[in-house]
Structure 1
Amino acid sequence: MQLYNKLSAEERAQLIDEAGKDRLTISFYQYHQIGNPQVFRDHLFITWDQLEVLGRIYVAKEGINAQLSLPADRFHEFKEHLDSISFLKDIRLNIAVEQDNKSFLKLKVKVRDKIVADGLNDDLFDVTNKGVHLDAEEFNKLLADPNTICVDMRNHYESEIGHFEGAITPDVDTFRDSLDIIEADLKDHKEDKNLLMYCTGGIRCEKASAYYKYKGFKNVFQLEGGIIEYTRQVNAKGIENKFKGKNFVFDHRKSERISEDVVSNCHQCGEPCDTHVNCANEACHLLFIQCDSCKEKMEECCSDNCKEINALPYEEQKELRKGKSNSNKIFKKGRSEVLKFKK
């Protein structure tokens, strides 16, 4: 019985091309007490592998967080399976704004301590005592209220390429970093202001809203379904779009364009740009923003040093990496001194 992915990304990409089918990129989450996450994880993998699902799914005792893709013609089978699981029946599915058949190239279902790394002790507060959920129209209305403080619950590299008008965008690397910083910055407004939060798909706000209510904030609101659902409603209902730029996503696409505004710049030359790339040097893999001109000049690398290493034969690159105690910079997300125009 197969319980783990056996194909490489390259092999899977070839199979996708040969199949010639359109795929849907979808995300969803649900907080729910799961008695045996490992058994649930195995059940999901066995079923979803047969449905040709690919993606990154986290399962924990507190619930599930899923980002995945599947053949469009198997969507109804997938939905039927979700509906057969009591706590996932009729769950809202966030369908990507921009589709890409290769958004995911492997099926990874992992058991984690938490479905989002928040660093919180859930025993201290009621995680179900959440903030008020708002749809796109309600969100826009509250966003325009002068008594509202809007906070982006995402990380610096996400908000750098796109955010809501007037939102506070904390300069943080992780979700757990933002929680205490935001509370400290807004400590004088726990009772007299509306705390309005948003994130990519809603999951971070779900936990943060309960945490901030526990911390004494009286008027806590969150954008239901996050930026993804907001964009769907804006397009479907003709609502004014208050989001500027791109929405960062955690798959091979890296982002979805929400508006034509370019709110960031190339980290190497400073020209307007909002295209994230990973350094071509596999020993680095730094995530940063790079325009087409710098991409050509730097051969898809973040620095001259990485450019030189990447030009070496592959076996020499492997030798250089051998025995290194330092991992690559995949989690640095633009935090590098070699980038002259990073924010």
Structure 2
Amino acid sequence: MQLYNKLSSKERAELIDQAGKNRLTLSFYQYAKIGNPQIFRDHLFITWDALDVLGRIYVAHEGINGQLSLPADRFNEFKAHLDSIDFLNGIRLNVAVEQDNKSFLKLKVKVRKKIVADGLNDESFDVTNKGVHLGAEKFNEFIEDEKTVLVDMRNHYESEIGHFKNAITPDVDTFRESLDIIEDDLKAHKEDKNLVMYCTGGIRCEKASAYFKHKGFKNVYQLEGGIIEYTRQVNEKNIENKFLGQNFVFDDRRAERISDDVIANCHQCGSPFDVHTNCANEACHLLFIQCDSCKSEMNNCCSDNCKEINALPYEEQKALRKGQGNSNDIFKKGRADHLPHKKNLRNIYEVLNENKTE
């Protein structure tokens, strides 16, 4: 029985076009104890492949984290399957703000050690002792309180294109890095400040809130369902939107526009722009922000060197890559030194000092 994807992205895209059906992009997560992640993974793949589900799903002993798309007319079947699983019965599904039939082009269900790479020893603290969840309306109230420190738990390339008003946006490459930085910078305010956190869909804050409570923070809160659920509530309940710009997402859409504000800049020329792209040179593939003008001038490349390589015949490019491995720039997400216009993210001290002077 087939337990892995056999179609290329191009082949899958053609099938989606031929089907002519609208697809839904959604995400969900759940911490739970899964005895045999491999058996659970295989069960999910067999069932979801039959429903034409595509996406990226991680399964571990600690639970499941999924971002996926499926035909809209099969949503009820999919939901019924989730509800048939005890720990997924009634789970909240974060439906994407902006839909794209080709947000995912393969079904990948993978067994991992953790559903989010947090680097934490879960045996050292109570992971169920989480912070207080805040809906959109209550969240808006909290972030206007002078006693609140609002922290973005995402990485620098995510917060660069969009974040909440007055949020601290740690200049980090990974979720794990941010935990120690936040604890150290806020150690003098463990009792007198409200620590309010948010992320894309809520999963990072689930673990982070328990971790910070373990570290002695007395008033810990998190945005229920993350930016995605916040946006849904804002739209449905006519609540003031305090998110600026775009919400970075980990699929082929790359982002969802939450407000008309453009808070980022092209990394090459500095003009206002907030759309990420990958360098066209396959040996680089750097994720960075590039405006339409620079994209045309640079042929979708991040540097003159990459532009020259990308202009070579494919076989010559392939020969140059042979034995070289991947460029480290692939994982830097806009860190490359040759990009002159990179946003300076605000640190915790700046925000605290701003609050003192207001």
TM-score, with normalisation over the residues of structure 2?
0.95
1:65 aligns with 2:52: no
Which residue of structure 1 aligns with residue 191 of structure 2?
191
- Alpha-carbon separation, structure 2, partners of 1:54 and 1:226: 22
Which residue of structure 1 aligns with residue 113 of structure 2?
113
Which residue of structure 1 aligns with residue 290 of structure 2?
290
Q: How does 1:1-343 map to 2 (within 5 A)?
A: 1-327=1-327, 329-343=329-343
Tell me, yes or no, if the aligned pair for 2:158 and 2:247 is still in contact at 8 Å.
yes
- Alpha-carbon separation, structure 1, partners of 2:101 and 2:326: 34
Residues paired across the two proteins, number: 343
| Deviation by residue 1:318-338 (Cα, 9 ceiling, x = unmatched) | 111001144453211000011
- Alpha-carbon separation, structure 2, partners of 1:4 and 1:280: 28
SS where residue 231 of structure 1 aligns?
helix
SS where residue 64 of structure 1 aligns?
strand
- Alpha-carbon separation, structure 1, partners of 2:236 and 2:298: 41
| Deviation by residue 1:96-116 (Cα, 9 ceiling, x = unmatched) | 000000000000000000000
- Alpha-carbon separation, structure 2, partners of 1:290 and 1:133: 36
Tell me, yes or no, if the aligned pair for 1:61 and 1:113 is still in contact at 8 Å.
yes
Quote the offset at 1:43 in angstroms.
0.3
More moved, 296-305 vs 324-333: 324-333
Root-mean-square deviation (Å): 0.7
- Alpha-carbon separation, structure 2, partners of 1:104 and 1:193: 41
- Indicate how the Cα distance of structure 1 residues 22 and 34 shifts in structure 2: closer, same or farther if over 3 A, else same: same
Structure 1 runs, 4 residues or longer, greater than 3 Å off: 325-328
| Deviation by residue 1:303-331 (Cα, 9 ceiling, x = unmatched) | 01101111111111111100114445321
SS where residue 329 of structure 1 aligns?
helix
| Deviation by residue 1:23-63 (Cα, 9 ceiling, x = unmatched) | 00000000000000000000000000000000000000000
Tell me, yes or no, if the aligned pair for 1:179 and 1:208 is still in contact at 8 Å.
yes
Structure 1 vs Structure 2: percent identity of aligned residues?
80
SS where residue 241 of structure 2 aligns?
coil
SS where residue 329 of structure 2 aligns?
coil
Tell me, yes or no, if the aligned pair for 1:282 and 1:328 is still in contact at 8 Å.
no
- Alpha-carbon separation, structure 2, partners of 1:334 and 1:297: 19
SS where residue 201 of structure 1 aligns?
coil
Tell me, yes or no, if the aligned pair for 1:285 and 1:328 is still in contact at 8 Å.
no
| Deviation by residue 1:48-95 (Cα, 9 ceiling, x = unmatched) | 000000000000000000000000000000000000000000000000
More moved, 328-337 vs 123-132: 328-337
SS where residue 123 of structure 2 aligns?
helix
Question: What 5-or-longer segments of structure 2 have no aligned partner?
Answer: 344-358
- Alpha-carbon separation, structure 2, partners of 1:326 and 1:293: 28
Tell me, yes or no, if the aligned pair for 2:284 and 2:326 is still in contact at 8 Å.
no
Tell me, yes or no, if the aligned pair for 2:283 and 2:326 is still in contact at 8 Å.
no
- Alpha-carbon separation, structure 2, partners of 1:3 and 1:281: 32
Aligned AA (1:84) = S
- Alpha-carbon separation, structure 1, partners of 2:310 and 2:24: 34
- Alpha-carbon separation, structure 1, partners of 2:256 and 2:142: 25
TM-score, with normalisation over the residues of structure 1?
0.99
Aligned AA (1:276) = H
Aligned AA (1:18) = Q
SS where residue 4 of structure 2 aligns?
coil
SS where residue 330 of structure 1 aligns?
helix
Question: What 5-or-longer segments of structure 1 have no aligned partner?
Answer: none
